[in-house]
């Protein structure tokens, strides 16, 4: 726990010790225009979270409530957009909004020759919300799976279909949705790249431009403290409410899940079709059109294959590291105090640039100084940042494990054999889901990666960001996006195979 919280403690200590920069930063942040910027940032995050909940949550509930063909494949594809960083969706919508593009043709009020205007707050909220909507899609499905069939069947005897959904099912699905809202709200609040590319001045943009973390970490942390306080309050508050209500993200209250017997109708296909079109089909078509010829893919692979493999390997390593850290904190299963678990979410609420800078100084002045020039420091930062997600997922799964199975595991062999044959297989679903989530988010982490990646050996996401900012080669950018998606899927498959192996040891 100390390793996870040490970057925040370090930055807070530096900002307090250097009282001059601290008071200077807060003095400048007291300017009249800062308040509206912070309000705009909160409004952007709330709008993005609401949009993601409507788009992904509704589609996830409809998808899970009906017997769609190829359910497993479609379910996996539906969360695949998480492997595409939100700032790359800007490149997709730039293409759609360009003169002659889909948006410019669909909305005739766009200025002639200038295309559809996308550099504004509503479009930023739309891009962030749609790119993060798979979080709600996944959590809505998992929440609906945990609803007892007996309770729903009993409610249907006395209530209509609408009343069953509004008074029984949705209240039971609300806790995991609230947990997802905390994560999406945090990611939207801390997003720097999307507002910056769309010329929307948010608080994160203000802090990054005026108080560069490379110049003075204490001053930057002092300036970012209001944003950190808002994001931490939203994340911890949502997780605390969801935990108090009792929910299971990765696990289920029953071992044998009943599949739905009703096939999707026109409404179900329309709802899920809209979700798939906006989050999967449209970006895929634009990226394929940007790539153009297959030779572009071959050229991108020959040029950046080391960065592509580095990104894939870092995602796998970060996911496994986060799962190991979560297992070390929560296993063997025991009653965990909520106040001892929730502070672990603070690194997720810290801006990535500050986390990266704290990691540099901690490693350079501590026992891990030899990691500064290698990939170990970047891996450690990713593990620290995304371990909270793995912790919350594993804790939820362990709550769904029947007590008799816990007792049987506790009576097994002692020492290492108990861990290998009892505790780890018992927690395998939660460990696997936590590792997958950490790997997906790690593959799209940019702020800390830019600071901590070794020169010449950075993951592909840094190369993609540089092309989006400074390079006109949109075909090369699109090709690298495809390799990014393929690498993330390969990482998820590798973690899934490891999880399946652990589960078979039971």
pLDDT of residue 111: 55
pLDDT of residue 53: 93
- For residue 439, give Cα distances in angstroms to 177, 330, 375, 382, 409: 21, 20, 16, 9, 29
> Residue 295 pLDDT > 90, yes or no?
no
> Residue 416 pLDDT > 70, yes or no?
no
> What is the C-alpha separation between 50 and 184, in angstroms, rounded?
9
> C-alpha dihedral over 433, 309, 318, 131, to 10 degrees?
-60
pLDDT of residue 45: 92
> What is the C-alpha separation between 433 and 439, in angstroms, rounded?
10
* Residue 335 CB neighbours (<10 A): 4
Q: Which domains does the chain have, with CATH numbers?
A: 2-504 (1.10.3720.10)
Query: Would you call 2 exposed, middle or buried from its count of C-beta atoms within 10 A (0-12, 13-18, 19+)?
Result: exposed
Q: pLDDT, tens digit, for every residue of 16-27?
A: 555 555 555 556
> Residue 48 pLDDT > 90, yes or no?
yes
User: Does the global pTM surpass 0.75?
Assistant: yes
Q: pLDDT, tens digit, for every residue of 374-407?
A: 677 788 888 888 888 888 788 777 776 666 666 6
> Residue 38 pLDDT > 80, yes or no?
yes
pLDDT of residue 227: 82
Query: Would you call 302 exposed, middle or buried from its count of C-beta atoms within 10 A (0-12, 13-18, 19+)?
Result: exposed
- For residue 313, give Cα distances in angstroms to 78, 442, 482, 484: 23, 11, 16, 12
pLDDT of residue 26: 58
pLDDT of residue 55: 93
> Residue 43 pLDDT > 90, yes or no?
yes
Q: Which residue has the higher pLDDT, 484 or 416?
A: 484
Select from 290, 280, 279, 289 the least CA-distant residue to 127: 279
Q: pLDDT, tens digit, for every residue of 117-149?
A: 888 899 999 999 998 999 899 888 877 877 766
* Residue 165 CB neighbours (<10 A): 17
Q: Give, to the nearest 10 degrees, the angle between helix 2-17 and helix 352-365.
A: 90
Look up residue 278 and give its two tokens.
Answer: 């906006």
CA angle 82, 84, 90 (to 5 degrees): 120
> What is the C-alpha separation between 127 and 219, in angstroms, rounded?
31
Least-confidence region, from 52-61, 62-71, 256-265, 282-291:
256-265
Q: How confident is the model at residue 252 (pLDDT cuts 50, 70, 90)?
A: very low
Q: pLDDT, tens digit, for every residue of 302-332?
A: 888 888 888 888 888 999 998 888 888 877 7
Q: Which residues contact 484 (CB under 8 A, 6 or more apart)?
A: 83, 84, 85, 308, 311, 443, 460, 461, 464
Q: Which residue has the higher pLDDT, 115 or 86?
A: 86
pLDDT of residue 382: 86
Calculate what percentage of the chain has a pLDDT beyond 90.
7
Q: Which residues contact 350 (CB under 8 A, 6 or more apart)?
A: 7, 8, 11, 228, 385
> Averaged over 43-54, what is the pLDDT?
93
Residue 200's Cβ-side half-sphere holds a number of Cα atoms within 13 Å equal to 29
């Amino acid at each position: 726990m100390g390793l996870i919280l040490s970057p925040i403690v370090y930055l807070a200590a530096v900002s307090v010790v250097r009282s001059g920069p601290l008071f200077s930063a807060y003095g400048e942040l007291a300017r009249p225009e800062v308040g509206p910027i912070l309000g705009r940032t909160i409004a952007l995050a709330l709008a993005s979270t609401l949009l993601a909940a409507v788009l992904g949550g509704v589609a996830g509930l409809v998808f899970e409530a009906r017997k769609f063909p190829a359910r497993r494949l479609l379910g996996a594809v539906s969360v695949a957009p998480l492997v595409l960083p939100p700032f790359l969706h800007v490149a997709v919508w730039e293409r759609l909004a360009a003169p002659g593009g889909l948006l410019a043709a669909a909305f005739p009020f766009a200025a002639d020759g200038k295309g559809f205007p996308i550099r504004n707050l509503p479009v930023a909220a739309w891009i962030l919300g749609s790119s993060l909507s798979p979080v709600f899609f996944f959590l809505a499905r998992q929440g609906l799976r945990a609803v007892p069939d007996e309770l729903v069947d009993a409610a249907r005897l006395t209530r209509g279909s609408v009343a069953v959904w509004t008074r029984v099912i949705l209240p039971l699905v609300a806790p995991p949705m609230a947990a997802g809202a905390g994560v999406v709200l945090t990611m939207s609040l801390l997003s720097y790249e999307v507002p910056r590319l769309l010329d929307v001045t948010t608080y994160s943009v203000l802090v990054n431009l005026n108080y560069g973390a490379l110049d003075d970490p204490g001053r930057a942390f002092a300036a970012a403290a209001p944003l950190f306080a808002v994001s931490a309050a939203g994340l911890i508050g949502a997780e605390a409410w969801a935990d108090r209500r009792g929910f299971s993200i990765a696990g289920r209250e029953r071992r044998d899940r009943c599949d739905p017997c009703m096939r999707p109708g026109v409404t179900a296909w329309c709802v899920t079709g809209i979700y798939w079109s906006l989050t999967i089909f449209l970006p895929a078509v634009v990226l394929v059109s940007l790539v153009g010829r297959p030779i572009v893919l071959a050229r991108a692979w020959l040029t950046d294959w080391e960065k592509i493999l580095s990104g894939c390997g870092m995602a796998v390593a970060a996911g496994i590291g986060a799962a190991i850290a979560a297992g070390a904190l929560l296993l063997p299963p025991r009653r965990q105090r909520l106040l001892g678990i929730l502070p672990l979410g603070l690194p997720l609420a810290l801006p990535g640039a500050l986390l990266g800078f704290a990691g540099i100084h901690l490693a350079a002045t501590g026992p891990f100084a030899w990691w500064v020039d290698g990939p170990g420091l970047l891996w450690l930062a990713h593990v620290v940042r995304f371990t909270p997600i793995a912790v919350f997922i594993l804790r939820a799964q362990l709550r769904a494990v029947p007590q008799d199975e816990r007792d049987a595991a506790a009576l097994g062999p002692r020492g290492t054999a108990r861990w290998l044959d009892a505790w780890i297989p018992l927690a395998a679903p939660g460990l696997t889901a936590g590792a997958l989530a950490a790997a997906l988010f790690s593959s799209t982490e940019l702020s800390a990666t830019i600071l901590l990646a070794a020169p010449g050996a950075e993951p592909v996401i840094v190369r993609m960001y540089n092309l989006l900012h400074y390079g006109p080669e949109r075909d090369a950018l699109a090709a690298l996006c495809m390799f990014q998606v393929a690498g993330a899927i390969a990482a998820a498959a590798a973690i899934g195979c490891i999880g399946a192996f652990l589960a078979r040891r039971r």
